[in-house]
Amino acid sequence: MKKILIATNNKGKAKDFESLFGPYGFEVQTLNDLEQDIDVEETGVTFEENAVLKAETVSKLLGIMVIADDSGLEIDKLQGAPGVYSARYAGEAKNDEANIDKVLSELQGVPEEERAARFRCVLAVAGPGIETVTFSGSCEGTILEERRGSNGFGYDPIFYSPEKGRAMAELSPQEKGQISHRGAALRQLEARLPQLLDALGGQQ
C-alpha cells in the first residue's frame, strides 16, 4: 500500500486524513509511525508559516511528499489568542484541559455576545520537485462558559457551533467534518488531490 506522511503526532488529526486518503488506497502515517524522532520547532507567527515550515522540513528530511497542518483557536475578545499558541496555551505540556481552563478563566464574566471565536486551519503540501501549496479553512462560533460533550479533542468542548446548535464536542465525527475548519481545508485539498497524487505516484 502506498504511504503518505502527515507531519503530526496528533491522533485526532490523523483520523481526519485517513478518511480522505483511504479511498485512494493510501496508508496514512504520522510522525508517531517513524523510527526517527522528528520535532520541527514552530517558529512562524501565522498558521500558514508554521504549516509550510513543518511540511518542507519533514519532506526534505525524508525525501517524500508530506502534508502538515497548523490550526488553532482565535478569540476576538483576546485579540486573536490563543492563535498559533493554541496547543501550548497553558504551557509546553500541550494539555487540552489546562488550555481550556485558561481560556474559560480569561473569559470569565464576558457576555455571550462578546465571546465570538473561530477555529482556523492551514494545510501545507510539500514534496521533492513540487511547489509547496497551502489550503485553508475556518469555522465560526462562540466560546461557551463550560464544557459540553465528550467527542473531538482540543478546545471542542467549549466551542459552540451556531450552525449545529451544539458544542463541537457534542457532534459526531461526520457532523464535525461538515462544518470544521479542517474539513473545509481538506475539501479544498481533495479538489486538488488527483493532481497531487499524480506527482506523488512518481515518488513511490
Domain boundaries, the chain: 2-201
124 residue type, one letter? A
Residue 156: the pLDDT is: 96
**pLDDT digit string, tens, across residues 121-165:** 999 999 888 889 999 999 999 999 999 999 988 999 999 999 999
What CATH architecture is 2-201?
Alpha-Beta Complex (3.90)
Strand 2-6 versus strand 66-75 pairing type: parallel
Q: Is 8 marked within a binding site? A: yes
Low-confidence ranges of the chain (pLDDT < 50): 203-204
Strand spans (E) along 40-129:
66-75, 116-127
Q: 181 labelled as ligand-binding?
A: yes
Percent of the chain whose pLDDT exceeds 90: 56
Q: What is the pTM of this model?
A: 0.85
Residues tagged active-site = 70
**17 is an annotated ligand-binding site residue:** no
